[in-house]
Amino acid sequence: MIRFEDVSFHYPHTQASIEGLSFHIAKGEFVALIGANGAGKSTISRLCNGLLRPSAGRVLLDGEDTSQTPTSRLARKVGFLFQNPDRQICENTVREEIAFSMKAQGWDEQAIAGRVEEILAAFDLAGDWFPFERSRGERQRIALAGALACEPQLLILDEPTTGLDYRECIRIMDYVTALNRDKGVTVLMVSHDMELVQDYARRVLVLEGGKLLGDGDVKRVMKDEALLRSARVLPAQIPALALRLGEGFEDVYTIAEMAGAIQKRRAEASR
Amino acid sequence: MNLLSVMPGDSFLHRLNPVTKLAAAFLYGIGCILCDSIAMEVVFILLMLLISASAGLLPRALALTRRLLVLGLFMFVIQLLFVRTGAPLLSLGGVTLVTTGGLRSALLLSLRVVATMLPLMLFFAVTQMNDLCNALVKRLHLPYRYAFIITTAFRFVPLFSSEFAEIQDAQRARGVDFETKNLVRKVKLVAPLCVPLLVSSLKKVNSSAISAELRGFEMRGRESGYKEYPFGKNDALALALLVLMVALCAALL
Amino acid sequence: MISIDNVTFRYQNQRGDEAALKNVSLTVEDGEFLGVIGTSGAGKTTLALAMCGVVPHEFKGDFYGAVLVDGEDTVEHAPSHFARKVGEVFQDIDSQMVASVVEDEILFGMENFGLPHEEIGARLDRVLREMGIEALRERSIASLSGGQKQKVAIAATLALEPRILVLDEPTGELDPESSREIFALLRRLCEEKGITVVIVEQKIKLLCEYAKRLIVLERGEMRFDGAPREVIAHVDTFKSLGINIPPVAELSAILREGGAYAGDVALTLPEAERMAREAMA
């Protein structure tokens, strides 16, 4: 789906940049990008849809070089959810807002009308709401609905849950998961929240100072304390607890697994 | 890159008092307006480029000049077609299109626009609005409230333009193609973006005011202020030269 | 001390007629470290803004009840009256900046207060150091990341040495490690200098660790008020409200339910380890 080939990027006047980065994300994957502030996470997400162009190396989207293709064209394949929904929303009603990207990408009127109603229902949104008056969580949901209306093949989420409460966060992540599972949409998510990463992602890319420090299965990364420490990332609580408890807890990642393992050990001890 | 943002530096130009810089930019502009010679306008533009180069601002100055020349070209065409003095220069089917007087006045006006605007635009490259505000209060004894409001308005310009760029990026990411040569189409594409820009701008201005109030904006007196903005020899020199320039331009009228 | 007495507030022009705060009463003693949690739209920001009079002075609406800051009514005095006492960091980090350069942003309030020159210089150096942003001193604010801006905003407020600090999601754009550093700094200020800290946050794990008291708002009403351990113990209620709690707290609830554990709710990793070992013994 997307391939980074020895990609470097430098912002003018600042030191934040990425350096010689190579990785490949296959179709249907759910990948989280983690790292401390300034590690290069947002830069990578913007390189994927051509909002930024590499200073060196190539970013290939389905084999197409992103620096040769305008972002507006790439947008047909790549949906992007920004941290701040307010930069995305520019129409007076939710209905028009959701139709906006489809119009921009040249869908025909009839297809748009049908799709809009479908999306409104799926996201539990009212078509005649005035988007600017809704809460932050609702605005983020509207932005996501707009991004997903065009059926992107790759969905990029740049810290999608900042400023959202847990319920809204779960709601948005559940939509994304369903899309990933049922329609094979590839997801690349930037996040600080390791619990969120553990619950939803299957593969994790660990970044530090613009370099790829680790890349692997979410379970392996969650338990690699040394890796997380060198990336200045705090591990999720349950895997960290499992590590502290040592033997017998190697396969424990979730709360339920942890409770089960503890109870099992308790039963064994009392026997 | 934003053409009105500050380019930090430590040159002669940078080190002048903010008030001097403002006065100098205006005096230079006035000189160019008074000046009535095409050759002199060209000299003023070149001189300004030279001055910018001394402060490491040549790339910025050239970029600004290029944009101002577009504006100048627009004025040039209008003047060329409307000023009818002098001998006919170009006729088509018995209708005089261009006259010598028209050509001269068009050339003069368009160059004058560039020469006048250039120093004013460059002023923003070498002056932090904060410093200007403080210097206006300390040196010219302007009431703090007004100095703050005026400079804040200018401070918001690059902020809005970067916000606009972010909004444009967000729209590009959902498939809007801004790369069109058709002006009408371009306006149609950009117009809807004014809504999010306006929403965020109003929010910004409002919270900025609240934040200032909560940090004691109303308590500020003329004497409070951490940095001093003394007038130095260089300021006197710069102002003297510019007054001389304006006087010369006025005398040659 | 901030005392909030039966406050109800409804924003003007707000859709619907639901009040943002409903009959909220709360006393924040000097030197407290109070965490405010709740879903979005629960009234957290409104409560924070009411603590310095921005509600109802800058955001108009129907205001009932009274907020007293050290005995002074916020309705009778303009927010600027409380500027020396209450420092507030807003949620929207970009829009609270008044300067273009980091140093000027931090100087702004101190200059307004008319502090002596040496004092300003000393405080400037100190807050830059405390927030770990010495290197950003001369940088243009526009060139900073969201997290860096948050540090600048906190530094600018700390420089004024307010007795009461109100922060609305001050670490929203910071990574967990930097967020933790800021919480630790706030806790230190609270303990060493007796500064009152009120902090609205989504990062409940950190609040559990650093706050001495937690309140939970839900649709404008106060649901819980107490020490983090007591408040978080209502695990089921939090689940039904849709508020995330530390996974180890959820684990303790399950263990308690299963009869494997009878102690207090675990909030941190070391506590959870102790709990697990106890349960397995």
Q: Are A167 and C180 within 8 A, CB to CB?
A: no
Which amino acid, C201? E
| Cα of B215 to nearest chain C Cα, Å | 5
Shared domain check, B32 and B109: yes
pLDDT band at residue A13, thresholds of 50, 70 and 90?
low
Contacts of A164 in chain C (CB under 8 A): 40, 202
Q: Are C80 and B128 within 8 A, CB to CB?
A: no
**Is C55 touching B (CB cutoff 8 A)?**
no
Please give the C-alpha separations between residue A174 and each of A167, A168, C136, C200, C242, in angstroms, as whole numbers: 11, 10, 39, 26, 14
pLDDT at C93: 84
Q: Which of residues 157-176 of C touch B (CB under 8 A)?
A: 157, 160
> Which of C132, C161, C190 corresponds to the end of one domain?
C161
- The chain-wide mean pLDDT, for chain C, equals 92
Shared domain check, C171 and C270: no
Shared domain check, B57 and B154: no
d(CA A265, CA A263): 5
Shared domain check, C115 and C168: no
C280, burial (CB in 10 Å: exposed 0-12, middle 13-18, buried 19+)? buried
Average pLDDT on B36-42 reads 93
| Tally of domains within chain C | 3
pLDDT band at residue B85, thresholds of 50, 70 and 90?
confident
Return the residue matching tokens 């590590």. Answer: A243
Shared domain check, B206 and B165: yes
Domain range holding B199? 143-221
| Cα of B8 to nearest chain A Cα, Å | 11
Shared domain check, C177 and C40: yes
d(CA B16, CA C52): 41
**Is C184 touching A (CB cutoff 8 A)?**
no
Q: Are B173 and A12 within 8 A, CB to CB?
A: no
d(CA A253, CA A248): 12
Flag whether A131 is in a domain: yes
Flag whether A229 is in a domain: no
pLDDT at C133: 94
**Is C258 touching B (CB cutoff 8 A)?**
no
Shared domain check, C39 and C2: yes
Shared domain check, A212 and A97: no
Shared domain check, B179 and B66: no
d(CA A81, CA A103): 18
Shared domain check, B103 and B4: yes
Asked if residue B189 lies in contact with residue C56, where contact means CB atoms within 8 angstroms, the answer is no
Shared domain check, B121 and B22: yes
Backbone φ and ψ for A4, nearest 5 degrees, come out as -100, 125
Question: pLDDT per residue over A210-221, tens digit each?
Answer: 999 999 999 999
Average pLDDT on C126-142 reads 93
pLDDT at B64: 94
CA proximity to C147, closest of B112, B29, A42:
A42
Domain range holding C136? 93-161
Question: pLDDT per residue over A39-72, tens digit each?
Answer: 889 899 999 989 999 999 999 999 999 999 888 8
Shared domain check, C257 and C129: no
Shared domain check, C121 and C4: no
pLDDT at C176: 87
Q: Are A88 and B177 within 8 A, CB to CB?
A: no
**Which residues share a beta bridge with C10?**
C62
pLDDT at B122: 93
B159 or C218, greater pLDDT: C218
Contacts of B174 in chain A (CB under 8 A): 75, 79-80, 88, 100-101, 104, 146-147, 150
Shared domain check, C257 and C195: no
Question: pLDDT per residue over A188-202, tens digit each?
Answer: 999 988 999 999 999
Shared domain check, C168 and C48: yes
> What sign results for the dihedral spanned by CA atoms C271, C275, C278, C281?
negative
Shared domain check, A266 and A173: no
Which of B180-189, C39-48, C125-134 holds the top average pLDDT?
C125-134
| Cα of C269 to nearest chain B Cα, Å | 38
**Element at A50 (helix H, strand E):** none
pLDDT at A14: 61
pLDDT at C256: 93
Shared domain check, C196 and C80: yes
d(CA B224, CA B144): 10
Q: What is the 3-state secondary structure (H, E, C) of chain C?
A: CEEEEEEEEEECCCCCCCCCEEEEEEEECCCCEEEEEECCCCCHHHHHHHCCCHHHHCCCEEEEEEEEECCEECCCCCHHHHCCCEEEECCCCHHHCCCCEHHHHHHHHHHHCCCCHHHHHHHHHHHHHHCCCHHHCCCEHHHCCHHHHHHHHHHHHHCCCCCEEEEECCCCCCCHHHHHHHHHHHHHHHHHHCCEEEEECCCHHHHHHHCCEEEEEECCEEEEEECHHHHHCCHHHHHHHCCCCCHHHHHHHHHHHCCCCCCCCCCCHHHHHHHHHHHHC
**Is C110 touching B (CB cutoff 8 A)?**
yes
CA proximity to B173, closest of A120, A74, A263, A213:
A74
Question: pLDDT per residue over C89-124, tens digit each?
Answer: 998 888 889 999 999 999 999 999 999 999 999 999
CA proximity to B156, closest of B190, B122, B119, B198:
B198
Q: Taking CB atoms and an 8 Å cut-off, how many pairs form between chains B and C? A: 105
Question: pLDDT per residue over C10-57, tens digit each?
Answer: 988 766 668 899 999 999 999 999 999 998 778 999 999 999 999 899
| Tally of domains within chain A | 3
pLDDT at B101: 87
pTM: 0.88
- The chain-wide mean pLDDT, for chain A, equals 90
Average pLDDT on C240-259 reads 92
Which amino acid, A40? G
Domain range holding A35? 1-77+152-223
**Element at B247 (helix H, strand E):** helix B233-251
Which amino acid, C106? I
**Which residues share a beta bridge with B96?**
B91
Name the residue among C82, C90, C117 with its Cβ closest to that of B211. C90
**Is C41 touching A (CB cutoff 8 A)?**
yes
Shared domain check, B121 and B150: no
Shared domain check, C188 and C151: no
For residue C195, the domain's CATH number is: 3.40.50.300
Q: Are C273 and A269 within 8 A, CB to CB?
A: no
Shared domain check, A48 and A19: yes
Closest chain C residue to A163, measured at CA: C172
pLDDT at C15: 60
Shared domain check, C56 and C71: yes
d(CA A225, CA C52): 43
C244, burial (CB in 10 Å: exposed 0-12, middle 13-18, buried 19+)? buried
Chains contacting chain B through 3 or more C-beta pairs under 8 A: A, C
Name the residue among B158, B206, B212 with its Cβ closest to that of C98. B212
Is residue A271 scored above 90 in pLDDT? no
CA proximity to C24, closest of C43, C40, C37:
C43
Contacts of B226 in chain C (CB under 8 A): 107, 110-111, 117, 120-121, 124
d(CA B52, CA B61): 7
**Element at A71 (helix H, strand E):** helix A71-74
Q: Are B6 and C100 within 8 A, CB to CB?
A: yes
Shared domain check, A136 and A260: no
Q: What is the 8-class DSSP label of residue A39?
A: S
**Which residues share a beta bridge with A79?**
A155
Flag whether A231 is in a domain: no
Average pLDDT on A165-190 reads 90
Flag whether A160 is in a domain: yes
The answer to which of B114-123, C166-175, C227-236, C264-273 has the lowest mean pLDDT is C166-175
Flag whether A218 is in a domain: yes
- The chain-wide mean pLDDT, for chain B, equals 89
Shared domain check, C74 and C154: no
Q: What is the 8-class DSSP label of residue A121?
A: H
pLDDT at B26: 95
Shared domain check, A71 and A7: yes
CA-angle at B153, arms to B148 and B156, nearest 5°: 120
Q: Are C95 and B224 within 8 A, CB to CB?
A: no
Shared domain check, B244 and B185: no
Cα atoms in the 13 Å half-sphere on the side-chain side of B64: 26
| Cα of C157 to nearest chain B Cα, Å | 8
Which amino acid, C186? L
**Which residues share a beta bridge with B235?**
none
Question: pLDDT per residue over B71-80, tens digit each?
Answer: 999 999 988 8
Which amino acid, B46? L
Shared domain check, A208 and A97: no
| Cα of A75 to nearest chain B Cα, Å | 5
Q: What is the 8-class DSSP label of residue A51?
A: S
Shared domain check, B6 and B76: yes
Shared domain check, A117 and A12: no
Question: pLDDT per residue over A92-132, tens digit each?
Answer: 899 999 998 888 888 889 999 999 998 998 888 888 888 88
Shared domain check, B209 and B171: yes
CA proximity to B26, closest of B118, B148, B135:
B118
| Cα of C250 to nearest chain B Cα, Å | 38
Shared domain check, A156 and A64: yes
| Tally of domains within chain B | 2
For residue A189, the domain's CATH number is: 3.40.50.300
Q: Taking CB atoms and an 8 Å cut-off, how many pairs form between chains A and B? A: 69
Asked if residue B176 lies in contact with residue A72, where contact means CB atoms within 8 angstroms, the answer is yes
